[in-house]
Amino acid sequence: MNIASPPSLQRALELGRRVLEIEARAVAALVERIDETFGQAIDMILRCRGRIIVSGIGKSGHIARKFAATLASTGTPAYFVHAAEAAHGDLGVVAAEDIVIAISNSGSSAELLTIVPQVKRRGARLIAMTGNADSPLAREADIHLDAAVSEEACPLNLAPTASTTAELALSDALAVALLDARGFDTEDFARSHPGGNLGRRLLTHVRDVMRPRERVPVITGDALLSEALFAMTRGGMGMTAVLGTDGKPEGIFTDGDLRRALENGIDVRATRLAGILTSNPHTIEPDALAVKAAEMMERLHISQLLVVDETGELKGALNTHDLMQAQVI
C-alpha cells in the first residue's frame, strides 16, 4: 500500500458529499421495489409459526445481526446465526417451521450457499436479500428482495458501502412494516426495552413519581394568602392545591402566582387566596405516563401538576423536580 500525503480539506469535503449522495440515491432507488414481493415477505413472516433466523457473512453479516436485533425488539422473535458458524453446527437451530433470511450483496457467498441445501431439507423457508437477482442465492430463495445498487460509494467501487446502506434500509423497512402489522405499540416497545433511559421514559407512570395526597399541601379558596404561604413552605413543592367545598381541586396557587401578586402590591396578611389563585388548574391522571406529564409541563410552561382520578378527586401532585429525580427528564 502506497503512503499518500494527507488529502486536502477540499478533497475530503468533496468525497464526503459524494459518498452521501451515492448512498442517498441507493436508498431512494429502493422505494420502487416495495411491491408485491415485499408484501409476500411480510405475509410469510407474519404466518411463521417458528422463528426467524437471519444470517450473513462479512459486512452483510453485520447488517444481518442488526436486522435480527431490530426484529426481536419490535415484536418478531429473531436470531442471528453467522453463516460460517452455521456450517459447523449452528445450523442445528433451524427447524421446519422457521424462516431463514439470508443477506448477501453478491448472492454468491460460499458460506451461505453451503447451508442453503440443509435449510431446504429441514423444510424451512428461505428469504434472500441480495444485490443480484440472478445470483444462486436469489434463485434458491422462496422470496427474493432486491437490494441492488448501481455503484458503491467507495472510490474504488469495491468496499461495501452503498450496498450495506441499501441492505440496512430495506431491512428496516421490513421491520417497521412488521411492527405495524402486529399492532406493536409503545407499551410493547417498553417491555422490550426495560433498561436505561428509554425504559424509564416508557415504563414510568405518574403514580410512580407523584407525591401522594397526604403529602400535597392543600388549602381552601377563602383562606388568607399568609395561610397559603405557610402551606407552600410546609409542602416544599412551590405550590399548594386549592380545594373547593366538595373537596376537589378548584385551583392552584404557585410561587409564580405569589410573585405576580407581590408585584401588584397586595397585602399578604389581608388578601384572600380566591382572588389571586390560578383557577381550573391543569391536571393529569395517575395512570398516564410520566413522560406525558413532562411534555405537558414543557408545553404549558408550568412546573407543577395536580394528579386527579376520573372523578376529579385529588390523588397527588408532582413537579419538575420529581420528574428529574426519577430520571424521566
Q: 202, 193 in Cβ contact below 8 A?
A: yes
Residue showing cell 423457508 = 125
How many of the other CB atoms lie within 10 Å of CB of 144?
22
* Confidence bin at 20 (pLDDT 50/70/90): very high
pLDDT of residue 89: 61
| The overall pTM is greater than 0.95 | no
Band the pLDDT of 90: cuts 50, 70, 90: low
Task: Please list, residue by residue across 285-306, b when 16 or more beta carbons sit within 10 angstroms of its beta carbon and e when fewer do.
Answer: ebebbbbebbeebeeeebbbbb
pLDDT in tens, 289-310: 998 999 999 999 999 999 999 9
**pLDDT beyond 90 at 167:** yes
- In Å, what is the CA distance from 306 to each residue of 19, 133, 145, 276? 52, 61, 53, 18
Looking at the predicted structure, is the pLDDT value of residue 279 above 80? yes
Q: Where in the chain is the domain with CATH 3.10.580.10?
A: 206-325
CATH of 9-184, one of 3.40.50.1700, 3.30.360.10, 3.40.50.10490, 3.40.50.1000: 3.40.50.10490
Predicted confidence band of residue 130 (pLDDT cuts 50, 70, 90): very high
Residue range 186-211: mean pLDDT, rounded: 74
Q: State yes or no: pLDDT of 187 exceeds 80.
A: no
User: Can you give 296-309 as a three-state secondary structure string?
Assistant: HHHHHCCCEEEEEC
Please enumerate in sequence order all residues whose Cβ is within 8 A of that of 226, keeping only pairs 6 or more positions apart, or say none.
268, 269
Domain with CATH 3.40.50.10490 in the chain: 9-184
pLDDT at res. 99: 96
- Rounded distance between C-alpha atoms, residue 62 and residue 55, angstroms: 9
Cβ neighbour number for residue 175 with a 10 Å cutoff: 23
Long-range (24+ apart) CB contacts under 8 A made by 155-164 are: 155/15, 160/58, 160/59, 160/60, 160/105, 161/19, 161/22, 161/23, 162/22, 162/23, 162/26, 163/26, 163/59, 163/60, 163/105, 163/131, 164/59, 164/60, 164/62, 164/63, 164/105
The CATH code of the domain at 206-325 is 3.10.580.10
Q: What backbone phi and psi angles, to 5 degrees, belong to 123?
A: 90, 5
Residue 202: predicted pLDDT:
72
Beta bridge partners of 319: 304
